[in-house]
Amino acid sequence: MAVVQTGNGPRELVATGLAARSLAFTDIPVIDFQALVDPAASAAERMAVGDAVRDACTRVGFFYVRNHGVDPAAIEATYAAARDFFALPMDRKMQIHIRKSTNHRGYVPLLEENTDPTARGDVHEAFDMALEVPADDPDVLAGKSMYGPNVWPELDGFRPAMEAYYAQMYGFGRRIFRGFALALGLPEDHFEPLIGKPMAQLRVLHYPSQDGPVDESQIGIGAHSDYECFTILNQQAAISALQVVNGAGEWIEAPPIPGTFIVNVGDQMARWTNDVFASTVHRAINRSGRERYSIPFFFGPDYDTPIEVLETCVTHARPARYPTVTSGAYILSRFDETFSYRKAGGEADAG
């Protein structure tokens, strides 16, 4: 067995090197979210979505979503903006290096993120943005460091495309939270009061192709679990790079399916559900011979939200496994372990 360290402790999985099993699409749940998009849908139709989410999260650990309500034009515009940004000269991108930000926004160069602590850096570059919060907002002035304004490159059309996509993902994420609430036997709006000012981060990622022999300790993104409640990922068509550990501890491929997003459980939802829904360990290896782009949206609750095991996930045989922690403190602790610019003495020169 191999072991991957996550924010919630070690996870065992079958050791297969960089290989992953290829499954038919029918083996990975594809959930129709139309009932959570359509306000006229019946309670039974909405509950059926919750049942499907629960089955996927307990049996496989991740799922695809179709009929999600996201505008395809917004998706295409974001990919176009990402390609334009990553094609900029390095000195232009370094002007907004994430180290210059006080609230984790901006550009992350190759190898400056290391999601797997046993590895040597991730072979991707990224741009990070989150909820736009003015510098004079009370939470910013109070030192809640994940809140604040975004930073932007001098690039026509980039900011509007990213902000439009962020708005689409926020709406979609709220629907997913409703699906999780139903899956957990909670009122459908249980999470709504906790996501008015969410710790929700949007990234665009660029992975160069790794051709020839690949060092397992330095791949596109190393084995890890995400930190928030869940991730909504859009994958570039026709390039399969994502690998996910299923409920049996096996690496399996999660290829792009046209018209869908893939959703995986993060560490905060695992803590909330007492590991009824375990966070999904995954990695990406781009061996396509082409550049790969992807767009993950990491959705967590408001900064001060206590992540405390839900009563519906505790039994005499399954007592609470995790102490309560606030969302903001948890995310900051994970970023401190992952990004080189946040490590004492390890900052790269961003000049």
Burial of 249 (0-12, 13-18, 19+ CB in 10 A): middle
What is the average pLDDT score of the chain? 89
- Say whether pLDDT at 182 is over 70: yes
- Say whether pLDDT at 253 is over 60: yes
Q: Which two tokens stand for residue 323?
A: 């102490």
The predicted pLDDT at position 5 comes to: 56
User: Of the given ranges (2-11, 82-91, 147-156, 335-344), which has the lowest mean pLDDT?
Assistant: 2-11
| Per-residue pLDDT reduced to its tens digit, 272-290 | 999 999 888 999 999 999 9
> Distance between CA 186 and CA 179 in Å, rounded?
10
% of the chain residues with pLDDT over 70: 90
% of the chain residues with pLDDT over 90: 74
Q: Which two tokens stand for residue 293?
A: 């782009």
Query: What superfamily would CATH give domain 14-342?
Result: B-lactam Antibiotic, Isopenicillin N Synthase; Chain (2.60.120.330)
Compute the average pLDDT of residues 248-269.
92
The predicted pLDDT at position 348 comes to: 40
> Distance between CA 10 and CA 13 in Å, rounded?
10
Look at residues 201, 199, 181 and name the one whose alpha carbon lies nearest to residue 190: 181
Question: Look-up: residue for tokens 């970023």?
Answer: 335
| Per-residue pLDDT reduced to its tens digit, 103-136 | 999 999 999 988 887 788 899 999 999 999 999 9
> Distance between CA 278 and CA 293 in Å, rounded?
27
The predicted pLDDT at position 334 comes to: 83
- Say whether pLDDT at 344 is over 60: no
Classify 264 in phi/psi space as left (phi over 0), alpha (psi -120 to 50) or beta: beta
> Distance between CA 43 and CA 178 in Å, rounded?
12
Q: Which two tokens stand for residue 294?
A: 């992807």
Sign of the CA dihedral running 126, 121, 334, 171: positive
- Say whether pLDDT at 23 is over 50: no
**β-bridge pairing 292-302 and 198-207:** antiparallel
User: Of the given ranges (84-98, 169-183, 325-339), which has the lowest mean pLDDT?
Assistant: 325-339
Confidence of residue 49 (pLDDT cuts 50, 70, 90): very high
User: Of the given ranges (7-16, 177-186, 242-251, 287-296), which has the lowest mean pLDDT?
Assistant: 7-16
> Distance between CA 25 and CA 68 in Å, rounded?
18
Which neighbouring-strand residues pair with 245?
A: 251
- Per DSSP, the three-state class of 37 is helix
The number of C-alpha atoms within 13 Å of 207 and in the hemisphere containing its C-beta is 30
Check residues 14 and 247 and name the one with the higher pLDDT. 247
| Per-residue pLDDT reduced to its tens digit, 306-342 | 999 999 999 999 999 999 999 999 998 888 877 777 6
User: Of the given ranges (51-65, 113-127, 159-173, 312-326), which has the lowest mean pLDDT?
Assistant: 113-127
**β-bridge pairing 30-32 and 325-326:** unpaired
> Distance between CA 83 and CA 105 in Å, rounded?
18
> Distance between CA 308 and CA 146 in Å, rounded?
20
Contact 207, 291 (CB under 8 A): yes
- Say whether pLDDT at 196 is over 60: yes
Compute the average pLDDT of residues 177-185.
97
Q: Could you give phi then psi for residue 296, rounded to 5 degrees? A: -90, 145
Instruction: Tell me the C-alpha to C-alpha distance, in Å, between residue 80 and each of 76, 105, 120.
Output: 6, 20, 30
